[in-house]
Structure 1
Amino acid sequence: MARAHLPAWLALGARVTVLSASGRAAELARPYRDRGVTVARDLGELLGGCDVVDICTPTPSHRELALAAIAAGRPVVCEKPLALTTEDAALVARTAEAAGVPLFPAHVVRYFPAYAAAARAVAAGRIGTPSALRFTRAGAYPVWAPWFADPALSGGILVDQMIHDMDFARLLAGEVVRVHARVRVGRFTDGDGPDRPGHPTASGTALLTHASGAVSRLLGVWGRPGLPFRTTFRVSGPDGVLEHDSTAGAAGAANTVGRPGGARAGRTGSAPGGVTAAGAAGAPAGDRDVEAPAGGSDVEAPGGALPESPYLTQLREFAAAVAGGPPPGVSAWDGVAAVRIATAAAESARTGKPVELSGPLG
């Protein structure tokens, strides 16, 4: 993730220093030496010389790094998930809140154009109140970092990958009160024999029931090597349906279609973010020092030309908030809520039973 965040910070004019417990900081900084990227010797040096902390490390380190940055009074960007447990995520959020330190969970999917356009359409009431939502997210198993294969470190596919769509489902349809999930793990082999153990694979399904009565169905896949990355969604309401497929071209269009039964006359149009509309209610109508600990995983993005990197979009929003602008669209407690849904899904998959969510986050 640091490889996605670092160029975004540079595009914003930041001076960046990196630190990695795995010793990869120099490797990360090397391509950007002419841009002034430097390497810190330890966390103390790094915290003492930065204005903002961007945590892009493996998930098990998020809590302690975030708490250290907050204790130093440094605004924090933290890659999702905010922590491995709801309790730890809430602790980080409460500590930041008590200290008056901005904390931004980096849920970048909210900033991909088709997703952002869908959120605007729902907020504007263009399809009515969402009642049925479907999300899929599939790509190759993340074998570049061994910790992904250990659910105790990554949380597994539900917590690491599917948390993206759990967060987005909550954004569109409101609080989640019940989660039922399943996970399957296996291996993909392209031949036989003990010398060909194959590649790890995993898939997850989750059924989310929202307080509104809406239901979200999610599918996540970590598949064979070379599996093309693809995301889809379909969000249905009484006045229309929002659809997206990242393989459809134009960076993945979100389409609005009329209510079932053709109750409304159709029309077509276009709007920013690669959004097209057909029927229904139409489509929606866009210099600080930074610390970026290295490590973690790269997150694949769907193909197609985007107006700008969603990582740049989200970090610009956070930087503006730190500089006194409006608060970012993702709050610390949004990050906690996403962790609670994802860990409830993991618990459901472990026990085979649905998990009820109630009570305050913190």
Structure 2
Amino acid sequence: MRVGLIGAGGIAAAHLDAWQALGAECLIASRTRPVALAERFGVEIVDDVDALIDRVDVVGILAPTPTHPDLALRAIARGRHIVCEKPLAASAAEARRIADAAEAAGVRLFPAHVVRYFDAYRRIKHDVDARAIGPIRTLRLSRSGAAPTPAWFFDERAGGGLIRDLLIHDIDQALWLAGPVTTVSATQDPPSAEGRLAAPVTATVELAHAGGATTRVDGGWLREGTPFRTTIEVVGTNGTREHDSAAGSARPGDVGDLPPSTGEQPYRAQLADFAEAIRTGLPARVSPADGVAAVAVVDAAYASIAAGEPVGVSADGF
């Protein structure tokens, strides 16, 4: 398999490590010409994105969120399968456009919601599906750490934003564990000013699920040097499951806004799942619809902040 990665930010090394562990031949394209990264992994830099797409079987979109629709549609037009970093797009409408185009072209689209592949979260999902704790009543999730440095993360109008970029991990977990959402209520402190954020900033997103469960997600981009931490607590009628990343230890390859992993490398597990789905035609753990639904809840969260009241979400999540 030949894989072309577009983008060379902090997440690129994890994708390169994972694809090479699967035996893939990798190429990379980026505006920054990532010479050090290319030398580290022994991969070729391709200066033209379309030329890269033409040479590969799978396109990995790792560039900033605002670029996702254009890059995805260019790859789909050439019949390439796509792995797209979360969020799939800056809005549910754009995410749906990508998903519909991939379906129409007969290519596979894999939103990279990698927390589904972290051992602790996967074990909780297993126990929920096995009814080990009974029907879910409440979920509480948190995610916080030092604020990122690239400016676009703080521009909500350009596809950035704390909820869109950071808390979407936990919103996806809530959807995975408790199902579709009917109502979203969100707050952010301090509020954005004309779409721009200043750090430190925190947010809370509360979800009412169609099945009766409720979720609260808290998170923040905090001061430089703040240790990264995530937590999850799932309370059912017959028991509780919980995890705190502060109780674990980081492994090589743990990156960015993700908790430490203690078992199989989650990026390797994620991309192995995607590669197997391409080989067999079977579903992967994350579907295009999952990617669209998570962005739809994010859209509703920002609409709730603007309105100062809860906002409804349609039954299909967008």
Q: TM-score, normalised by structure 1?
A: 0.79
Q: Partners of 1:43 and 1:159 in 2: how far apart?
A: 26
Mark the structure with the bigger radius of gyration. Answer: 1
> What is the aligned counterpart of 2:140 among 122, 130, 134?
134
Q: Are residue 29 (structure 1) and residue 35 (structure 2) matched?
A: no
Q: Deviations over 1:7-28 (max 9, x none)?
A: 11111111100011x2233343
> AA paired with 1:109?
V
Partner residue of 1:346?
A: 302
> AA paired with 1:210?
H
> AA paired with 2:186?
A
Pairing of 1:328-339 with structure 2 (within 5 A):
328-339=284-295
Partner residue of 2:186?
A: 181
Q: Partners of 1:55 and 1:167 in 2: how far apart?
A: 19
Partner residue of 1:272?
A: none
Q: 1:219 to 1:310 in 2, by over 3 A?
A: same
Pairing of 1:274-285 with structure 2 (within 5 A):
none
> AA paired with 1:161?
L
> AA paired with 1:87?
A
> What is the aligned counterpart of 1:54 among 56, 60, 68?
60
Q: Partners of 1:77 and 1:69 in 2: how far apart?
A: 11
Partner residue of 2:258?
A: 301
Percent of pairs identical after alignment? 46
Q: Is the Cα contact below 8 Å between 2:99 and 2:109 reproduced in 1?
A: yes
Q: Is the Cα contact below 8 Å between 1:108 and 1:314 reproduced in 2?
A: yes
Q: Are residue 111 (structure 1) and residue 117 (structure 2) matched?
A: yes
Q: Partners of 2:160 and 2:304 in 1: how far apart?
A: 13
Displacement after TM superposition at 1:232 (Å) = 0.6
Q: Is the Cα contact below 8 Å between 1:47 and 1:72 reproduced in 2?
A: yes
Structure with greater helix share of residues: 2
> What is the aligned counterpart of 1:312 among 265, 268, 282?
268
Supply the RMSD in Å over aligned alpha carbons. 1.9
Q: Partners of 2:224 and 2:61 in 1: how far apart?
A: 27
Partner residue of 2:215?
A: 216
Q: Is the Cα contact below 8 Å between 2:185 and 2:310 reproduced in 1?
A: yes
Pairing of 1:132-171 with structure 2 (within 5 A):
132-143=138-149, 145-171=150-176
Q: Are residue 64 (structure 1) and residue 74 (structure 2) matched?
A: no
Q: 1:233 to 1:323 in 2, by over 3 A?
A: same
SS of the aligned residue for 2:280 comes to: coil
Q: Deviations over 1:116-142 (max 9, x none)?
A: 000111011111111111001111101
> AA paired with 1:83?
A
User: How many pairs are equivalent?
Assistant: 300
SS of the aligned residue for 2:73 comes to: helix
SS of the aligned residue for 2:87 comes to: coil
> AA paired with 2:113?
H
Partner residue of 1:10?
A: 20
Deviates more, 1:22-31 or 1:71-80: 22-31
Q: Partners of 1:166 and 1:312 in 2: how far apart?
A: 22
Q: Are residue 41 (structure 1) and residue 71 (structure 2) matched?
A: no
SS of the aligned residue for 1:161 comes to: helix
Q: Is the Cα contact below 8 Å between 1:90 and 1:361 reproduced in 2?
A: no
Displacement after TM superposition at 1:154 (Å) = 3.3
SS of the aligned residue for 2:246 comes to: coil
Q: Are residue 355 (structure 1) and residue 311 (structure 2) matched?
A: yes
> AA paired with 1:9?
W
Partner residue of 2:230?
A: 231
SS of the aligned residue for 1:247 comes to: helix
Q: 1:360 to 1:81 in 2, by over 3 A?
A: same
SS of the aligned residue for 1:242 comes to: strand
Deviates more, 1:150-159 or 1:164-173: 150-159
SS of the aligned residue for 1:239 comes to: coil
> AA paired with 1:16?
C
Partner residue of 1:255?
A: none
> AA paired with 2:48?
D
Displacement after TM superposition at 1:151 (Å) = 1.2
> AA paired with 2:22?
L
Q: Partners of 1:351 and 1:26 in 2: how far apart?
A: 46
Q: Partners of 1:103 and 1:126 in 2: how far apart?
A: 32
Q: 1:142 to 1:250 in 2, by over 3 A?
A: closer
SS of the aligned residue for 2:286 comes to: coil
> AA paired with 2:46?
A
Pairing of 1:319-330 with structure 2 (within 5 A):
319-324=275-280, 326-330=282-286
Q: TM-score, normalised by structure 2?
A: 0.90
SS of the aligned residue for 1:206 comes to: strand
Q: Is the Cα contact below 8 Å between 2:154 and 2:162 reproduced in 1?
A: no
Give 5+ residue unaligned stretches, structure 1.
Answer: 187-198, 253-297
Q: Partners of 1:129 and 1:97 in 2: how far apart?
A: 33
